[in-house]
């Protein structure tokens, strides 16, 4: 049957009369558990990733290298996550150093780093990237103020061993290449620090305290307390926190503060600060992505990124193209595998946990379940 313009107008009028007034509006800004129907993960070097991102042929690069030494293209955006902890430790072979001498050496090195480029001066093990930082912000600021206020120089020339990028944080005349050194400056990646403790089984990601600052502090400084009594005390607090042996949230927070204070009291190993890592994605007008969720530690290599990212040129699904800088090395199974960064990204796409780590907090968020109050009997 042919529909003439006059008949088409009558059909439109009839439909409006049937359905009533229709209101238009914007779509919701977040699509929970959004899935592209095809996800491509390709290992590539940073130079190629930068080229593809600029040409809008790659949606995101999960490598941890600095892709653009100069100006970042207008169509490319970056997210920031916690990168490495910078720690300073005294030479364990120098048994002649007492605790006061160890403090003089470590604090002189840490204090000298303040203001240097390439890292954030933060001499406290809980950082603003940790979800429980508000419980520690007063002590973090007090420790920074104390160190900066003490401007005394060391009594002698220090010999500081540093490797890689950490060497740029040490003044040239202090750098030591031989085995005879007073202190060492090292980088410890936070992702690797907690990576060995992660578990994924039966829809559960853990442990529950994975993104808490007190847990990171314990992993970094558990061997720092010098005497056995202090180690026994910190081990006891960790046991209480992990087993829920406290009566209220206030008691839990006080235990966390007590633990971090005890771990940070010694001078055999101290935190100097941390670095920030940037990962890049294409925000090009039609071929880019939006609605980006990311983790404060894992960045884009996290389940929340896969479940929130939306392609601009497809309303619901499409082809998501991702790049990563490392080849897969771990076994591909959910029991003992997917432990490398490539496998972590792959499992984020095919796994389906009930809870996800909250993007910018130490808690958890619902994935495929809802907290619905029953209305039966009302």
By DSSP bridging, strand 269-282 and strand 120-121 are antiparallel
More confident residue, 361 or 59: 59
| Length of the chain counted residue by residue | 378
What's the burial of 21, exposed, middle or buried (CB within 10 Å: 0-12/13-18/19+)? exposed
Q: Does residue 282 have a pLDDT over 70? A: yes
Tens of pLDDT, residue by residue over 237-267, are 999 999 999 999 999 999 999 999 999 988 8
Question: Per-residue confidence at 202, pLDDT binned at 50, 70, 90?
Answer: low
Q: What are phi and psi of 144, to 5 degrees?
A: -65, -45
What pTM was computed for the model? 0.82
Q: Does residue 8 have a pLDDT over 70? A: no
Q: Identify the pLDDT of residue 314.
A: 77
Q: Does residue 226 have a pLDDT over 90? A: no
Token digits for 17? 């009369």
Q: Single out the residue of 205, 187, 185 nearest to residue 197, CA to CA.
A: 205
Considering just the CA atoms, what is the radius of gyration of the chain in Å? 26
Average pLDDT, the chain: 83
Q: Identify the pLDDT of residue 68.
A: 87
Tens of pLDDT, residue by residue over 158-186, are 999 998 889 999 999 999 877 789 999 99
Q: Identify the pLDDT of residue 219.
A: 92
From CA 256, how far away is CA 213, in angstroms rounded?
9
3-class SS of residue 240? helix
Check if the beta carbon of residue 41 is closer than 8 Å to that of residue 345: yes
Tens of pLDDT, residue by residue over 100-158, are 888 889 999 999 999 898 899 999 999 999 989 999 999 999 999 999 997 656 556 89
CB neighbour list of residue 30: distance below 8 Å, 6 or more residues apart? 291, 293, 308
More confident residue, 52 or 164: 52
Q: Identify the pLDDT of residue 123.
A: 96
Give the other-Cβ count within 10 Å of 314's Cβ. Answer: 12
Q: Identify the pLDDT of residue 358.
A: 85
Q: Identify the pLDDT of residue 12.
A: 40
Give the other-Cβ count within 10 Å of 103's Cβ. Answer: 16
Question: Per-residue confidence at 368, pLDDT binned at 50, 70, 90?
Answer: low
Q: Does residue 94 have a pLDDT over 90? A: no
């Amino acid at each position: 049957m042919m529909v003439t313009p006059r008949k088409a107008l009558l059909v439109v009028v009839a439909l409006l009369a049937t359905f009533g007034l229709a209101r238009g509006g914007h779509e919701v800004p977040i699509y929970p558990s959004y899935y592209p129907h095809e996800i491509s993960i390709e290992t590539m070097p940073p130079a190629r990733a930068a080229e593809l991102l600029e040409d809008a042929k790659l949606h995101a690069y999960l490598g941890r290298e600095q892709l653009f030494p100069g100006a970042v293209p207008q169509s490319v955006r970056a997210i920031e996550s916690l990168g490495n902890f910078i720690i300073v430790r005294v030479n364990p072979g120098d048994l002649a150093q007492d605790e006061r001498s160890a403090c003089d050496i470590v604090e002189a090195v840490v204090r000298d780093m303040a203001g240097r480029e390439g890292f954030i001066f933060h001499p406290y093990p809980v950082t603003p990237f940790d979800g429980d930082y508000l419980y520690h912000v007063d002590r973090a600021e007090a420790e920074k103020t104390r160190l900066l206020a003490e401007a005394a120089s060391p009594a002698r020339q220090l010999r500081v061993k540093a490797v890689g990028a950490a060497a740029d944080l040490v003044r040239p005349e202090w750098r030591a290449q031989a085995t005879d050194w007073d202190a060492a400056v090292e980088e410890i990646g936070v992702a690797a620090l907690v990576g060995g403790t992660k578990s994924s089984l039966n829809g559960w990601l853990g442990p529950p305290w994975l993104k808490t600052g007190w847990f990171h502090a314990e992993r970094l400084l558990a061997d720092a307390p010098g005497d056995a009594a202090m180690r026994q005390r910190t081990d006891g607090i960790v046991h209480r926190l992990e087993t829920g042996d406290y009566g209220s949230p206030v008691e839990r927070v006080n235990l966390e503060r007590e633990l971090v204070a005890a771990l940070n009291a010694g001078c055999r190993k101290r935190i100097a600060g941390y670095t920030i890592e940037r990962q890049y994605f294409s925000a090009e007008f039609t071929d880019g992505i939006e609605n980006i969720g990311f983790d404060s530690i894992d960045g884009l290599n996290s389940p929340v990124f896969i479940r929130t990212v939306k392609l601009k040129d497809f309303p619901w699904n499409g082809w998501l193209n991702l790049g990563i800088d490392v080849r897969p090395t771990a076994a591909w199974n959910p029991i003992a595998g997917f432990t490398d960064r490539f496998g972590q990204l792959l499992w984020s796409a095919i796994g389906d946990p009930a809870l996800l780590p909250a993007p910018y907090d130490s808690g958890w968020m619902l994935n495929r379940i809802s907290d619905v109050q029953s209305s039966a009997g009302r």
